[in-house]
């Protein structure tokens, strides 16, 4: 009978000892830990700050003292290019190439965002600061310029007539452009047909149409041909011509984002095409449609060229769009800056600040009404 010896069998000399299972598993887990791709590490923050400071000092010495150059724009461009070079060099010290490329792209996007945000913020602050002398007076909001000369003190006169005129004209334009623009967007996305491409081409062409042509169209049609006097209605119609393609184009993009599965589910439940659009498509995209409306209002609220032709200008408050000229905030700003008088320019900057505030408040209010209330139930 063959017996097995109790003596352990020795492995050959050329065979490496087996790695214990636990140790092998630990090595695999350590080597396969994924790199975190979101969030900031201390290395990211310090590399960004250090590169910014070092590049600023380097460019300041070379640009201002060695090369003897001058100019803020050139200095900022050189600083930005040097910062990117320094940031890439610092990142290469302790990071692989794919991560360095990711950092470089992130830095370019971040600096571009900061430049745009800084330009917008600087513009807002500058306009508000220039208009602050006029904004501090209560009569600026409650009085008009009837009987007030451009050189009068800021304690006299105001922009009430311009605010009322802007509200009336933009209200008329919105009442006309909103159903037309929204109907056009619904036709392009939900109905279609042979004329859809033609309508889309016309809408895109009208989006790039110079605004003054809308004023010339209303001026020729109503004022010259039909003998209508210059009033707020003509101004509202001119603004509506400008506003319709903006709402139609942006609303079309919003409606195309709505998932087709919602439309199919509605039709499968027995709803008609119109019921699906009215009860499913439009409520689903109401937040985006509100943004489209705000884009249209924001565009026409600051238009000056059409109003110069069709609305006329006045210094008194006129709330009737059917008779007498009607002033507006853009016309008031244009006339104030063009006058060359210091006090008129300050009133113009104050009116510009007020216009920005009104558009911002309208944007917040509209988005609040169009918000999704499903999360609060």
Mean pLDDT by 10-residue block, N- to C-terminus, for the chain (377 residues)? 49 49 48 56 82 90 83 86 90 85 88 89 92 91 86 88 91 92 90 84 85 88 88 90 91 88 86 86 86 87 84 84 88 88 90 90 80 55
Measure the CA angle with vertex 86, ends 83 and 91; round to 5°. Answer: 120
Specify the pLDDT at position 34: 56
Whether the Cβ atoms of residue 335 and residue 341 lie closer than 8 Å to each other: no
Neighbours of 54 (CB within 10 A): 16
pTM of full prediction above 0.85:
no
Write out the two tokens for 123: 């513009």
Assess if residue 142 is contained within a domain. no
Cα(350)–Cα(358) distance, rounded to whole angstroms?
12
- Give the count of domains, the chain: 2
Q: Which of 56, 82, 116 is the last residue of a domain?
A: 116
Are 289 and 166 in a shared domain? yes
| Sequential DSSP letters for 213-231 | HHHHHHIIIIIIIS-PPS-
Q: Are 185 and 199 in contact (CB under 8 A)?
A: no
Instruction: Judge if 251 and 342 occupy the same domain.
Output: yes
Q: Are residues 78 and 184 in the same domain?
A: no
Predicted pLDDT of residue 31: 47
107 class by beta-carbon count within 10 Å (0-12 exposed, 13-18 middle, 19+ buried): buried
Residue 188 domain boundaries: 160-372
- In the prediction, which pLDDT does 174 show? 92
User: Could you say which of 80, 100, 116 is where a domain stops?
Assistant: 116
Residues 107 and 202 grouped into a single domain: no
> What is the pLDDT, as a whole number, of residue 35?
56
């Amino acid at each position: 009978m063959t017996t097995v010896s109790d003596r352990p069998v020795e492995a050959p000399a050329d065979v490496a000892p087996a790695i214990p299972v636990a140790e092998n598993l630990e090595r695999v887990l350590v080597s396969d830990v994924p790199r975190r791709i979101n969030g900031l590490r201390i290395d990211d923050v310090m590399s960004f700050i250090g590169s910014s400071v070092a590049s600023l000092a380097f460019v300041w010495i070379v640009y201002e003292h060695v090369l003897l150059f001058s100019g803020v724009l050139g200095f900022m461009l050189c600083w930005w290019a040097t910062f990117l070079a320094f940031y890439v060099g610092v990142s290469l010290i302790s990071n692989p190439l794919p991560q360095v490329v990711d950092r470089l792209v992130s830095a370019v996007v971040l600096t571009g965002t900061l430049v745009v945000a800084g330009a917008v913020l600087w513009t807002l602050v500058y306009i508000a600061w220039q208009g602050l002398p006029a904004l501090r007076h209560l009569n600026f909001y409650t009085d008009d310029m009837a009987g007030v000369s451009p050189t009068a003190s800021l304690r006299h006169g105001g922009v009430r007539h311009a605010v009322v005129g802007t509200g009336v004209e933009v209200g008329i334009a919105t009442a006309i452009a909103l159903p037309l623009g929204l109907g056009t967007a619904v036709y392009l996305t939900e109905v279609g047909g042979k004329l859809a491409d033609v309508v889309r081409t016309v809408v895109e062409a009208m989006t790039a149409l110079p605004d003054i042509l809308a004023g010339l169209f209303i001026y020729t049609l109503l004022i010259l041909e039909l003998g209508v006097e210059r009033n707020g209605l003509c101004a509202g119609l001119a603004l509506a011509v400008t506003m319709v393609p903006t709402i139609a184009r942006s609303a079309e993009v919003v409606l195309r984002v709505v998932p087709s599965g919602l439309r199919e589910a509605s039709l499968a439940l027995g709803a008609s095409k119109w019921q699906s659009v009215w009860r499913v498509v439009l409520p689903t995209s109401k937040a985006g449609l509100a943004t489209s409306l705000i884009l249209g209002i924001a565009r026409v609220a600051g238009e000056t060229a059409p109003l110069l032709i069709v609305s006329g200008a006045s210094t008194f408050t006129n709330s009737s769009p059917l008779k007498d000229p009607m002033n507006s905030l853009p016309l008031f700003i244009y006339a104030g800056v063009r006058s060359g008088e210091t006090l008129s320019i300050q009133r113009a900057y104050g009116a510009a600040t007020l216009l920005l505030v009104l558009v911002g408040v309208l944007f917040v209010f509209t988005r609040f009404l169009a918000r999704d209330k499903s999360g609060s139930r």
